[in-house]
Structure 1
Amino acid sequence: MQTVETLNEGLKRAFRITIPAKDIDARVDQELKSIAPQVRMPGFRPGKVPANLVRKMHGAALEQQALQNAVQEGVQQLMADQKLRPAMQPSVELEEGGPGKDAVVKVEVETLPDVPEAKIDGLKIERFVVEASDEMIDEAVQRLAAGQRSFDSAPASHKAATGDRVIIDFEGKVDGETFEGGVGEGMSVELGSGRLIPGFEDQLVGVKANDQKTVNVTFPEDYPVDYLKGREAAFEVTVNEVQVAREVKADDEFAQSMGLEGIAQLRDLLKAQVEQELNGLTRTHMKRQLLDQLAASHDFPVPESMVEAEFDQIWRQLEHEAGHEEDPAAARAEMEKERGDYRAIAERRVRLGLLLSDIGQKNGVEVSQQEMNQLVMQAAQQYKPEDRQRFVEYIRNEPMAAAQLRAPMFEDKVVDFLFDKAEISERPASREELESAIEAEEGHVHGPGCGHDHDHDHAAKPKAKKSAKAAAKSDEAPAEKPAAKSKAKAAAKEEAAEAAPEKKPAAEKAAAKKPAAKKA
């Protein structure tokens, strides 16, 4: 194999490798000898088919496979000989080739930079100390009680109000034609939950049992069913029943209904949860201070391909969010004005990710095999039992998917290592002060960020998520290759969930949608 370097500019490298035709032919001959004993042909005893006939039957396929294998091994040898560390998958293009010809292959690759020695001395971080107050615990108890409420049938004369629940049958039509999944019976809808497509729940406010009503809505532009995107639909709704929420008192009886001794034990449990939440907010605030200092003191070139991949991920989420705005066109115009800011965010994310990874590797930070096994088993629990082993096998066989699972824990360990190195001061603060500090930081370009998961089930609206804009400016720095991380995540989910995705009733699918994240 002959190798010629054609480009060496910054992190970009390009090569032209030539694989002699005789090497490819040798591979074909070797494979022919391997399969010849198994070839069957009328008029010949098993294993006695002449080599020229075997070549005639299988030669084209064997030549193609031999070429692919030769190119793959050639690229691997190139990477090893040149000691290249690819930032992304190399671009490989066959420029010349064919039966009896040398294969000339163009290889383009962007390499990872040599990360300079990290400046981790002199880091100073302020920790907000927030106590879990009785008021916070009271609010947590009330939220829990509200979530446990039950519903009773309302009198026939009762008009449904926000917070009530209605049981409906419906038939949806677009251009006068019923569409797939547009018919349902006995669907329960809590008014004001925001679970259905915009305008559907609002038009049910005021209905009574046995009412019939036409609900007119427009499917969002990003609706997961292509033929319904942006289409106007009319739902003929029959109200079977209106239900009102029964008041739930947060007392000993309520706590005992949950298997606890009384309200005191419930408050102790909720206090621990509040403290855990406060610790999470405190860590977020500290981590952002840490990353700001690292970003300010480190500047080195990063691969454009990784930045582009990270920017594309951020931009896709922003476009998704803009589609839910009242004026999508105006939202997209605002995005375009800030395109440069988001590209800077992507570049910072990549740089911080490479820096954290380098710090961890040089200081012996690692995720043990036992910890990795626990991560795999935890992730597998999100799938149906029959799909869990398939997911586990996929992670074992796909290094990028494994890296995706490992990255958050690795990053947390690197951050903890840096916290131990930093000078940390403490000051008492309220929850409002802590949250305000975090929100203020989201108003600046912090860098590491976007990464929402989206299922494609349009049956129900999940809990609200942080807006794409705020998420893009948060500080979830990828500790491993950012672009590889997002790809591995998608691949792992697609592979493991393909056979058994969670599905909702078709009727509910038609009437409901995915969330429109609030704008930061």
Structure 2
Amino acid sequence: MQVIETLAEGLKREIKVVIPAKDMEAQMNERLEDVKGRVRINGFRPGKVPFAHLKKMYGKSVMAELVNEIVRDRPTAILSERGEKSATQPEVAMTEDQAEAEKILNGQADFEFTLSYEVIPAIDLKDNSGITVTREVVDIDAKEVDEQILKIAESARSYETKKGKAADGDRVTIDYLGKVDGEAFDGGKDEDAELVLGSNRFIPGFEEQLVGLKAGDEKVITVTFPAEYPAANLAGKEATFDINVKEVAAPSEVEINDELATKLGLESADKLREIVRGQIESQYGSVSRQKVKRQILDQLDEMYKFETPERLVEAEFENIWRQINTDLAQSGKTFADEDTTEEAAREEYRKLAERRVRLGLVLSEIGEKAGVQVTDEEMQQSLYQQLRQFPGQEKQILEYFQKTPGAAASLRAPIFEEKVVDHLLGEIKVTDKTVSKEDLLADDEDGDDKGSKKAAPKKKAAAKAEAQEGEDAAPKKKAPAKKKAAEGDAE
């Protein structure tokens, strides 16, 4: 077998592989000899089939198997022998001429194919001890814990029917029908809907107009959907709602005690406070870690400058760009609405793609040199998390990960990355700084990639792309997929 390098330009490589016809024929003959004693052909006793006849009947099919196996297996071996790692699956090209292909299968011509790929650049790891980050920490006081418990307790709060007008905090049971320009719209109707006034579950202006109504009242209210409302056909539109009040109920008092804890499935108020405090700490800790991670990535981005594989960058850019356009379409907006142009946005998101590919390669190299491993147990836990997100579709999800090439890698990659960040936190200087929860959760105006502020859509449409890199400082809220049109930020 001859391996000839025909292109070495930057990270691009092209290899020509030539396997002489005599070598291909020799391998074919070995396989035919191996099966000769087991082949059953009418007119011949087992093991007595003439080799020439066996070759005539099965030679081409065996040669085709050899070609497929070579194309499948040899590229990996060739790259390993060359000490190279391909950034993506190498592209294999071979003759498309039918006559030439017949000669190869008949052992009359050399088998030639080419490999085209980009190598992963060599990365000279630098000393990480110079990286410094500030970790924001929030002191959680008892008042905040109790406030959170009272919010949770809303699910356990009881209501008693009352006579008279509905006040803020009361629960009203209503039928409603929404209309735009006098026409009812999809999702704008419900019956026996329960709404706690002041909960801000419905769009602005809706709940306020129900205050003062009593059971049996009917009223037509007018509201305007927010300009950024997810349903494009309703965004910014004025609508009317025909309201029929069926019941008004006043809330019972909620006290944080053992009785409340029991209603929530816990043994005591102390245990309830302990669990809620832990949840708050976990929430703040997650946000703080994202900010720390961003600081680390920003400094690694400054430390490492090298050419990135174009195919990886293009694949990353396409993922981001697809998300951008999907989110813009769902919101009914254009790049002009986001104070940019498609051309400018493309340029900025390609910079983001390049950064993410480069940092991904750096983190991979750091993790490999540090011996970071992702265990089978961690992979199983990640898979279970995926399954929990799609109740009722567990079988399909499992089949997807079992049968889809690269699917398992999508589970492994974020785990590996977080473990590399953990490793780096043990090498760099971390200074804790106590801040208020408002400061911790505030949107960071400098949170976008450097040089990408002109790409305005990224702030709204590419949250997923950012979050994977620690770019998003605060967790984004997602509305339920089937939320009724009258409801705003219910969650």
The reply on whether 1:441 has 2:446 as its aligned counterpart is yes
Letter in 2 for 1:468: A
Q: 1:311 maps to which residue?
A: 317
Measured in 2, the distance between the counterparts of 1:424 and 1:510 equals 43
The reply on whether 1:298 has 2:295 as its aligned counterpart is no
> How many residues in Structure 1 have an aligned counterpart in Structure 2?
453
Measured in 2, the distance between the counterparts of 1:403 and 1:327 equals 34
In the TM superposition, 1:132-147 aligns within 5 A as 132-147=140-155
In the TM superposition, 1:438-477 aligns within 5 A as 439-445=444-450, 467-474=460-467, 476=469
Q: 1:8 maps to which residue?
A: 8
1:212-257: CA deviation from partner (whole Å, max 9, x where unpaired)? x9xxx9xxxx99xxxx9xxxxxxxx999988979567354343331
Letter in 2 for 1:120: N
Residue 287 of structure 1 is aligned with which of 280, 293, 299? 293
1:95 Cα deviation (Å)? 2.8
The reply on whether 1:275 has 2:251 as its aligned counterpart is no
1:15 Cα deviation (Å)? 1.6
1:23-74: CA deviation from partner (whole Å, max 9, x where unpaired)? 1685388369749956677x88899888888778777665544432232233
Measured in 1, the distance between the counterparts of 2:50 and 2:177 equals 72
Q: Percent identity?
A: 31
Residue 355 of structure 1 is aligned with which of 322, 337, 362? 362
1:308 Cα deviation (Å)? 1.1
Q: 1:27 maps to which residue?
A: 28
Residue 345 of structure 1 is aligned with which of 346, 352, 359? 352
The reply on whether 1:416 has 2:422 as its aligned counterpart is yes
Asked if 2 retains the 8 angstrom alpha-carbon contact of 1:7 and 1:15, the reply is yes
1:389-426: CA deviation from partner (whole Å, max 9, x where unpaired)? x8678767878433332332322222222222222223
Deviates more, 1:65-74 or 1:311-320: 65-74
The reply on whether 1:323 has 2:329 as its aligned counterpart is yes
Measured in 2, the distance between the counterparts of 1:333 and 1:303 equals 31
* SS of match in other structure, 1:314: helix
Residue 101 of structure 1 is aligned with which of 103, 126, 129? 103
1:193 Cα deviation (Å)? 10
1:306 Cα deviation (Å)? 0.9
Asked if 2 retains the 8 angstrom alpha-carbon contact of 1:119 and 1:294, the reply is no
Any stretches of 5+ residues in structure 1 without a counterpart? Answer: 171-180, 229-236, 448-465, 479-503
Asked if 1 retains the 8 angstrom alpha-carbon contact of 2:162 and 2:250, the reply is no
Answer with 1 or 2: which has the greater Rg.
2
Measured in 1, the distance between the counterparts of 2:372 and 2:37 equals 52
1:355 Cα deviation (Å)? 1.0
1:87-107: CA deviation from partner (whole Å, max 9, x where unpaired)? 111111223565443433222
1:465-500: CA deviation from partner (whole Å, max 9, x where unpaired)? x8433444456269xxxxxxxxxxxxxxxxxxxxxx
Letter in 2 for 1:93: A
1:296-329: CA deviation from partner (whole Å, max 9, x where unpaired)? 1221221111111111111111111111334346
Measured in 1, the distance between the counterparts of 2:330 and 2:250 equals 30
Letter in 2 for 1:73: D
1:430 Cα deviation (Å)? 0.7
Q: CA RMSD in A?
A: 5.9
In the TM superposition, 1:195-214 aligns within 5 A as none
Measured in 2, the distance between the counterparts of 1:283 and 1:510 equals 31
Q: 1:491 maps to which residue?
A: none
TM-score by length of 2: 0.69
* SS of match in other structure, 1:324: helix
1:173-218: CA deviation from partner (whole Å, max 9, x where unpaired)? xxxxxxxx99x9989797999999x99xx8xx98999x9x9xxx9x
1:312-360: CA deviation from partner (whole Å, max 9, x where unpaired)? 1111111111113343463477362232221111111111111112112
Measured in 1, the distance between the counterparts of 2:315 and 2:20 equals 35
Asked if 2 retains the 8 angstrom alpha-carbon contact of 1:167 and 1:242, the reply is no
**Structure 1's 100 and 392: CA in aligned 2 closer, same or farther, altered over 3 A?**
same
Asked if 2 retains the 8 angstrom alpha-carbon contact of 1:281 and 1:434, the reply is yes
TM-score by length of 1: 0.65
Asked if 1 retains the 8 angstrom alpha-carbon contact of 2:171 and 2:248, the reply is no
Q: 1:249 maps to which residue?
A: 254
Asked if 1 retains the 8 angstrom alpha-carbon contact of 2:328 and 2:461, the reply is no
* SS of match in other structure, 1:17: strand
The reply on whether 1:127 has 2:172 as its aligned counterpart is no
1:85 Cα deviation (Å)? 0.3
1:21 Cα deviation (Å)? 4.2
Asked if 2 retains the 8 angstrom alpha-carbon contact of 1:169 and 1:187, the reply is no
